[in-house]
Structure 1
Amino acid sequence: MSDTDMNVYRELQEHLDKMPVGFPATESGIELKVLKHLFTPEEAHLALKLNYMPDPLKKIYRRVKKTGISIEELEILLDEMYEKGLLNYGKSTSEKGVEEKFFANAPIVIGMFEYQLGRLTKEFIADMKQYFEEAFFEKEWNLTGIPQLRTIPIGQSVEHEQNIANYDDLRNIIENSGGPIGLAECICRKSKDILGDPCKKTDMREICFSFRSAAEMYHEKGLARLISKKEALDILEKVEEAGLVLQPGNSQRPMCICCCCGCCCEVLTNQKKFDEPSRFFATNFQAEVDSELCIGCGICVDRCNMDAITIVDDKSEIEKGRCIGCGACVPTCPQDAISLRKKEETIVPPKNTMGTYIAIMDKKAELARMEKS
């Protein structure tokens, strides 16, 4: 590989790092190995001409036509990159019936990593894991205080007298999804299966939901099947019984919902390594124990995905700095000693995914100004 080809991966890393969900560098350079798994040098050069906001094919062509590529060749290359899970894609039809394609760079998460569902190798999984551990969560995910995902409680964990907003009610989100619902295998659990370390919480693998255009995209790529609302709600019930953490996209109309565990999920496993990881989660609830009712059976300890519960003097104690308010511990308590309580300050998520990305970009700009001053 020529020096020019080697340099393009560093240029691409720096380019992708300017997106709302960035791609920060590491001391080891593992991020370059990740990019080489995903992009050929030709694809990397083209990705440098794309934005995180979708651009029409003709606009992209104006940026690259000096290279001698025809618009037909460009369209083929962009289509191939989309099929490989490197780009996001959309299309629109004009009043005259003319179809126009749009392309944008996909973020590393949620995006390129998840789109490799049908292309996983042990080497790629190992390199992604190293990248997550070295840089992504500390330097990117936790940077702005506006995560891509939020945590909402499982249905049985919130007492009826507590008002719960529609965006904190997963059944409401599914019922009002407004379009196709996709169901895909969990990329994290599938990765662990390939590495020979299967999930300790559940045997379910088809467990990741997508909605509307995201569902159509996953289905088009062969990564998800389309399901009814009834099947989605039935799966949700099994997810809650298994004690998994519900993490939809951090908006009032999420495009996806992850059903996560503390042994496989890259978000939970990496965040657990920090002190007081709850500060990095967008959640409106927190668990508390009634010590007079608690008998110290330890069921809640096993159910907790964040290692937030311990038994002290035969009573369960919850470490507030680790509790993310998922409610997995509540419905299985034989004494009804654990409950979820709303936090005093409510976090209202952005209205949609683009609103989340704009909020992240605004916060990054604010942090950059503060660093310069």
Structure 2
Amino acid sequence: MKSNKNISLQLAERFEVGFSKTFPKILEILMSKEEIKMVLALPGTPKEIARRLNENENKVAEKLRDLYMRGIIIIEEKTPEGAKYNITKAGIFMDFILFDPRYDKYGEEFLDLWKDFYKETQLVPAQEENIPSDFRVLPLEETIKNTRILPYEQTSQIIKSAEKIAVQLCACRKRERNCDAPLETCISLNQLADYVLKRKMGRELTKEKALKLLKNCEKIGLIHQTSNDDHPDVICNCCPCCCAFLRSVIYYRNKASVVKSRFRPKVNPSKCRDCLKCTRVCYFSATINKEGRRAFIEENCYGCGLCAATCPNNAIEMVEVFPKEHIPPGNGWCPTLVLDE
């Protein structure tokens, strides 16, 4: 441990956001100095951490479990000596804190710190084009006809195949407070849903209620996103003014902030009346009004399907443009998450 640096800054560096002026302040609100020191001693089991800190193993085990239940740390694996604790990615850490209504007691100033942190880490720095995002846009199913759509890019099939479903508050809209879209729209699946319910951050949903929630989100123009892999563990319902990924793309042109769906709109010229309704729902400036006619900028399109769903003349359908290999194998947004007993 570096003794010449503030310990909250040291922990920020462990989260790979040492450049942030805001993150150390957030850590100091969430944890005592002693707790920060304990987290700096990770990864490890209670026995290993107790040895490193020269403290009582039972007390260390109790404190680590408390930090786990508060969303500060995760269990990344179970070992014969007990749970092995560690930190997670800074973005996941942010959501695990903002999902939790128990942190509402810190008020607007706490949310403002998270808002500043997001600007530091997500909006301003350019995204590496060769590093894919953790999230991918899901197309609206109703807009895809006569083409092959994979089960893990269909919201209905993702829901129907889930063993457990939970819904919690949208961390992005809670942080940004830029619109009046509903907050309780973030859907967690399977192991992530178990984690959400264990920490009392959300409530369990039946498959029928989850599907109804998704339809309601579609009606108000929210965009579905999921983890960018073939085993999704979350479905977000996103607005362009608050979403961490969409804002980065739309307002800062960080194109790699979210992965495009495999589909693009195809227009039937004989049906299109240039009513321009599609241009008014496109968040990405892909479908635009050019001198009173519809124009399409393909490189701006992320394949959400809002244009096709909005067309009153059924002139637009979504067609496959990328092969199934566009979606990599994986285990969800938070693949290392292991539940406590």
Q: Normalising TM by the smaller chain, what interval?
A: 0.7 to 0.9
- CA distance in 2 between counterparts of 1:37 and 1:138 reads 25
Aligned ranges for residues 319-330 of structure 1 at < 5 Å? 319-330=297-308
Asked whether the equivalents of residues 157 and 340 of structure 1 are also in contact (C-alpha less than 8 Å), the reply is yes
Q: 1:354-365 maps to which residues of 2 (within 5 A)?
A: none
- Output the amino acid matched with 1:49: A
Q: Deviations over 1:58-116 (max 9, x none)?
A: 4xx3244243321111122112212322112378698xxxx943422132222333433
Alpha-carbon contact 1:278-1:324 (below 8 Å) kept: no
Paired residues of 2:73 and 2:87 also in contact (CA < 8 A): yes
- The alpha carbon displacement at 1:259 in A equals 0.8
* Structure 2 stretches lacking a partner, 5+ long: 337-341
**Counterpart contact for 1:154–1:328, Cα < 8 Å:** yes
Q: Counterparts of 2:257 and 2:194 in 1: how far apart (Å)?
A: 34
Residue 69 of structure 1 pairs with residue 69 of structure 2: no
Displacement after TM superposition at 1:224 (Å): 0.9
Alignment partners' CA distance in 2, 1:321 and 1:138: 21
- Can you list the C-alpha shifts for 1:326-372, whole angstroms capped at 9, x where unaligned? 11221121122222222244402223138978xxxxxxxxxxxxxxx
Q: Which amino acid aligns with 1:109?
A: G
Closer/same/farther in 2, CA of residues 103 and 324 from structure 1, 3 Å limit: same
| Alpha carbons of structure 1 residues 243 and 210: separation in structure 2 relative to 1, 3 Å | same
1:49 aligns with 2:79: no
State the match for 1:25 in structure 2. Answer: 19
Asked if the contact 1:50–1:104 (Cα under 8 Å) also holds between the matched residues in 2, the reply is: yes
CA contact (8 A) 1:246 1:258 kept: yes
Deviations 1:163-214 (A, max 9, x none): 111221121111112x211111112222344xxx433xx3x32211111221
CA distance in 2, matches of 1:74, 1:15: 20
2:188 to 210, 217, 220: 210
Give distance in 1, aligned partners of 2:65 and 2:49: 17
| Alpha-carbon distance in 1 for matches of 2:79, 2:40 | 27
Could you tell me which amino acid in structure 2 is paired with residue 352 of structure 1?
A: N
Q: For 1:141-180, list aligned pairs within 5 A.
A: 142=128, 144-159=130-145, 161-177=146-162, 179-180=163-164
**Partner residue, 2:10:** 11
Aligned-partner residue type, residue 271 of structure 2: L
Q: 1:236 to 1:280 in 2, by over 3 A?
A: closer
Match of 1:283 in 2: 261
From 98, 101, 109, give the equivalent of 2:91.
109
Taking a change above 3 Å as real, the CA distance of residues 334 and 232 of structure 1, as seen in their structure-2 partners, is: same
The answer to whether the 8 Å contact 1:275/1:321 transfers is no
- Of 314, 336, 349 in structure 1, the residue corresponding to residue 328 of structure 2 is 349
Residue 131 of structure 1 and its aligned partner are, at CA, apart by 2.4
Following the alignment from structure 1 to structure 2, what is the Cα–Cα distance between the partners of residues 48 and 192? 29
2:111 to 125, 147, 156: 125
One-letter amino acid of the structure 2 residue matched with residue 170 of structure 1: T
What is the CA RMSD across the aligned residues, in angstroms?
Answer: 2.9
Partner SS for 1:334: coil
TM-score of the aligned structures, taking structure 2 as reference length: 0.85
Give me the whole-angstrom Cα distance separating, in 1, the residues matched to 2:264 and 2:18: 32
* Residue pair 2:148, 2:320 contacting (<8 A) in 1 also: no
Relative to the length of structure 1, the TM-score reads 0.78
Contact 1:152 1:170 in 2 (8 A): yes
Tell me the residue number matched to 1:198: 179
